[in-house]
Amino acid sequence: MKAFRLDELEVERAANDGAYLQFLRERNMSVGLYALNAGESDPQGPHAQDEVYVVMSGRASITVGPETTQVGRGSVVYVPAGATHRFHHISEDLRVLVVFSPPES
């Protein structure tokens, strides 16, 4: 078993001066913590893997392909591999668990 605490992951992510911290990598998946502060731009582009976002805190909009929805704590969003997607209109600091399958390369 591997167990993690979000508060400790957030400290580690911030200490590494990055928006993304991958904290678990296995044969069929990887998991990370993604952070965007209110008003920031999301620079990511399409990924070669399927993704699931679980919003832990914050509020924003996300656009996946032609569809846009509002997200907040408790929202879960699936993004298929290769799909253009981006968080935007980030009104509260956003902290998101990201699950990639297969693992992000």
Residues in contact with 61: Cβ distance below 8 Å, sequence separation at least 6, in sequence order: 68, 69, 70, 71, 87, 88, 89
Burial of 5 from C-beta contacts in 10 A (0-12 / 13-18 / 19+): exposed
E strand intervals along the chain: 20-25, 30-36, 50-64, 67-72, 76-79, 85-101
Taking the alpha carbons at both ends of the chain, their separation in whole angstroms is 23
pLDDT in tens, the chain (105 residues): 999 999 999 999 999 988 999 999 999 999 999 999 999 999 999 999 999 999 999 999 999 999 999 999 999 999 999 999 999 999 999 999 999 999 987
pTM, two decimal places? 0.94
pLDDT for the residue numbered 105: 78
Q: Which residues pair with 55 in a beta bridge?
A: 96
